[in-house]
Amino acid sequence: MPLVRVDIKKNQDPTFAKRIGKLIYAAMHATIGVPENDNFQILAEHDENHFIFDPVYMGINRTDNLVIIQITLREGRTLEQKKLLYKTIAESLNAELGVRLEDVFINLVEGKPENWSFGNGIAQYAN
């Protein structure tokens, strides 16, 4: 049930953001048990005036190729699963798309199952 948001600077390759999304979904499927077809993503590209970040926060040197990933999902994954997710996403973006590990910024936002409606005005996972 994750909702994935990916934000990047405008890329010359019109398929770049979508390829990032595919790799993120594959990583979520493999590491935190996201079911087949549970794939909802918002992929956004921004110009330099609408994509602001600190290039050295926490001693990590970031470039204009920064990929910001926010995943909203149901609470309940272990710390080990989250760490594996972060590592798998970063390494796959690096291996497949040449994104530097330093340029992969990931934020998880967890919520209760009753906070989701997948359509029809129904809280499908509410008890």
Cα 5 from chain centroid (whole Å): 6
Rg (CA), the chain: 15
Domains detected in the chain: 3-115 (3.30.429.10)
How far apart are the C-alpha atoms of 71 and 69, rounded to whole Å?
Answer: 7
- Interaxial angle between packed helices 16-31 and 79-97, expressed in degrees from 0 to 180 and rounded to the nearest 10: 150
Residue 2: active-site member: yes
Catalytic-role residue among 2, 35, 55, 113: 2
Q: Is pLDDT at 127 greater than 80 in this prediction?
A: no
pLDDT digits (tens, 9 = 90+) for 52-93: 999 999 999 999 999 999 999 999 999 999 999 999 999 999
Strand 3-9 with 40-46, pairing: parallel
Mean pLDDT (whole number) for 100-106: 98
Cβ count near 85 (within 10 Å): 22
- What is the pTM assigned to this prediction? 0.93
pLDDT digits (tens, 9 = 90+) for 2-38: 999 999 999 999 999 999 999 999 999 999 999 999 9
53 backbone dihedrals φ, ψ, rounded to 5°:
-155, 160
82 backbone dihedrals φ, ψ, rounded to 5°:
-65, -45
> What value does the mean pLDDT of the chain take?
95
